[in-house]
C-alpha cells in the first residue's frame, strides 16, 4: 500500500511538472507572431542583450556560430559551433517552447521580418536577457536538406532563334525550301508551380506526421503522406498542360488570391483543437 501511494505521488508529480514549469515563467507581452512567421525560416545568432541596461553581454557572429531552423512539421534544428540537434517547437500566447542553450521557454518577438528576439530570465535571478537573431538564407546555414524534400532547381534557357519553316517540296526543287520567310517561335508557356505542405493533426487514431504536394510547370505531380499506421506513401503522376492551366484558372476564379494570408480561431472549441498540435498548412 505504501509503495502504491509513493508510485502515484511520483506519477502525479511528473504529470504536473510541465504545467508548473510553464506557469512559473512570467507572462509574455502581447505578440502578433504566429507559427506562420516561423515555419521554414532560418536564423543566425547575433548577440545576447541585457534588457534592463541594454548592454550586449555576448557576441556570436565570429566566436559563437549558432543557427536555428523551424520546420513546418513543428520540429526544429539547432546548430551550435557545428553540433546539430533536433527538438520539437511550439508557439502559444507569445511564448516559444523550444530548447535553446540553457532555457526552454522564451517570450518571442519579431520587430521586423529580418530580426527575431527570444527573451528569457536567468536562473536564480530576476533579470531578463534577450537572444537576437538575424534571418538568413538556407545556404548560409550548416543544415542539410532532407532526402525527401525536393531541391530548388534554376534552369537557364537559351534565347529563341528564328528558324525557317521547311515545307514539303519536290527533292529537285531544293532552292524553294528557303524561299519561305522565317517565322519566330511563340513565347514559352507561363511557369506554374504549386506547393502545399502540412495539414492534419498529430493526435488521433492515425496521426499525420507530414504531408506534401508539389506540381511543377511540366505537370509532374508528387504527393508524399506519412502517417503512424501507413508510414510514408508517395504518389507520382503526370498532368496534361491544358488540365494544369484549367486548374490554375479555377483557383483564380474561386478567389483564392483574394484571401487573407492567415486565419485564426474565433471560437473556444477551435482554440482547444489547436492544443492538439495541428500541422500548419502552407500553400504557394
Write out the H or E segment, with its range, that includes residue 231: strand 231-238
**Better-scored residue on pLDDT, 277 or 265:** 265
- Give the Cα-Cα-Cα angle 32, 125, 83 (nearest 5 degrees): 70
Specify the residue for cell string 484549367.
246
Rounded Cα distance between 281 and 284, Å, is 10
What is the model's pLDDT at position 194? 85
Listed in order, strand segments (DSSP E) in 71-125 are: 75-80, 83-88, 90-92, 95-100, 103-112, 115-121
Q: What is the mean pLDDT of residues 26-55?
A: 85
Q: Best-predicted range by mean pLDDT among 17-31, 39-53, 157-171, 234-248?
A: 39-53
Using CA atoms of 134, 140, 141, 147 in order, give the dihedral in degrees to the nearest 10: 130
In this prediction, residue 179 has a pLDDT band, given cuts at 50, 70 and 90, of low
Closest CA relative to residue 218, chosen from 238, 235, 236: 238
More confident residue, 79 or 205: 79
Pick the CATH number of 26-140 from 3.10.180.10, 3.90.550.10, 2.40.128.20, 3.65.10.10: 2.40.128.20
Q: What is the pLDDT of residues 188-235, one digit of tens each?
A: 778 888 888 777 666 667 788 778 888 888 888 888 888 888 888 888
Per-residue confidence (pLDDT) for residue 249, from 0 to 100: 86
Predicted confidence at residue 24, as pLDDT, reads 45
Alpha-carbon dihedral 240, 246, 249, 255, rounded to 10 degrees: -110
Where does 25-100 have alpha helices with state H?
A: 35-38
Query: Has residue 23 got a pLDDT over 50?
Result: no
Could you give the percent of the chain with pLDDT greater than 90? 17
How far is the CA of 134 from the CAs of 18, 78, 100, 108, 119, in angstroms? 30, 14, 16, 14, 15
Supply the pLDDT for residue 178. Answer: 59
pLDDT of residue 219: 83
Non-local CB neighbours of 78 within 8 Å, separated by 6+ positions: 66, 67, 68, 84, 85, 86, 87, 99, 100
What is the chain's mean pLDDT, rounded? 76
Task: Please check the confidence at residue 177 and state whether its pLDDT lies above 60.
Answer: no
Q: Specify whether the CB–CB gap between 209 and 73 falls below 8 A.
A: yes
Rounded Cα gap, residues 120 and 63, in angstroms = 22
Q: What is the pLDDT of residues 89-106, one digit of tens each?
A: 998 878 999 999 888 899
Secondary structure class of 279 (helix, strand, coil): coil
pLDDT at 45: 94
Name the band, by pLDDT with cuts 50, 70 and 90, for residue 22.
very low
For residue 148 the three cell numbers come to 525527401
**Confidence at residue 212, expressed as pLDDT on a 0 to 100 scale:** 81
Q: What is the mean pLDDT of residues 13-17?
A: 40
Cα 133 to the center of its chain, rounded Å: 17
Are the C-beta atoms of 39 and 284 separated by less than 8 Å?
Answer: no
Cβ–Cβ < 8 Å for 45, 67 = yes
Domain borders along the chain are 26-140, 194-257+267-283
> How much is the average pLDDT of 44-68?
87
Region of poorest pLDDT, from 101-105, 107-111, 262-266 = 262-266
Q: Read off the C-alpha cell for 60.
A: 556570436
* Averaged pLDDT for residues 64-77: 90
pLDDT given at position 19: 39
Is pLDDT at 110 greater than 80 in this prediction? yes
Amino acid at each position: 500500500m505504501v509503495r502504491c501511494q509513493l508510485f502515484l505521488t511520483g506519477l502525479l508529480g511528473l504529470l504536473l511538472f510541465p504545467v508548473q514549469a510553464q506557469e512559473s515563467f512570467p507572462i509574455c507581452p502581447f505578440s502578433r507572431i504566429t507559427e506562420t512567421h516561423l515555419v521554414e525560416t532560418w536564423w543566425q545568432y547575433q548577440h545576447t542583450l541585457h534588457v534592463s541596461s541594454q548592454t550586449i553581454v555576448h557576441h556570436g557572429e565570429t566566436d559563437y556560430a549558432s543557427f536555428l531552423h523551424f520546420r513546418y512539421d513543428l520540429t526544429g534544428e539547432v546548430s551550435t559551433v557545428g553540433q546539430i540537434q533536433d527538438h520539437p517547437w511550439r508557439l502559444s500566447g507569445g511564448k516559444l517552447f523550444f530548447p535553446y542553450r540553457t532555457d526552454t521557454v522564451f517570450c518571442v518577438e519579431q520587430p521586423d521580418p529580418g530580426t527575431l528576439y527570444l527573451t528569457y530570465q536567468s536562473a536564480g535571478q530576476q533579470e531578463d536577457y534577450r537572444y537576437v537573431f538575424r534571418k538568413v538564407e538556407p545556404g548560409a546555414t550548416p543544415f542539410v536538406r532532407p532526402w525527401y524534400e525536393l531541391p530548388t532547381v534554376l534552369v537557364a534557357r537559351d534565347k529563341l532563334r528564328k528558324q525557317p519553316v521547311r515545307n514539303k517540296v519536290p527533292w529537285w526543287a531544293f532552292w524553294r525550301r528557303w524561299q519561305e520567310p522565317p517565322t519566330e517561335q511563340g513565347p514559352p508557356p507561363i511557369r506554374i508551380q504549386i506547393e502545399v505542405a502540412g495539414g492534419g493533426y498529430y493526435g488521433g487514431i492515425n496521426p499525420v506526421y507530414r504531408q506534401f504536394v508539389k506540381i511543377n510547370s511540366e505537370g509532374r505531380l508528387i504527393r508524399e503522406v506519412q502517417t503512424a499506421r501507413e508510414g510514408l506513401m508517395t504518389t507520382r503522376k503526370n498532368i496534361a498542360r491544358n488540365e494544369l492551366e484549367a486548374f490554375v484558372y479555377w483557383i483564380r476564379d474561386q478567389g483564392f488570391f483574394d484571401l487573407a494570408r492567415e486565419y485564426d480561431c474565433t471560437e473556444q472549441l477551435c482554440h482547444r483543437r489547436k492544443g492538439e498540435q495541428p500541422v500548419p498548412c502552407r500553400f504557394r
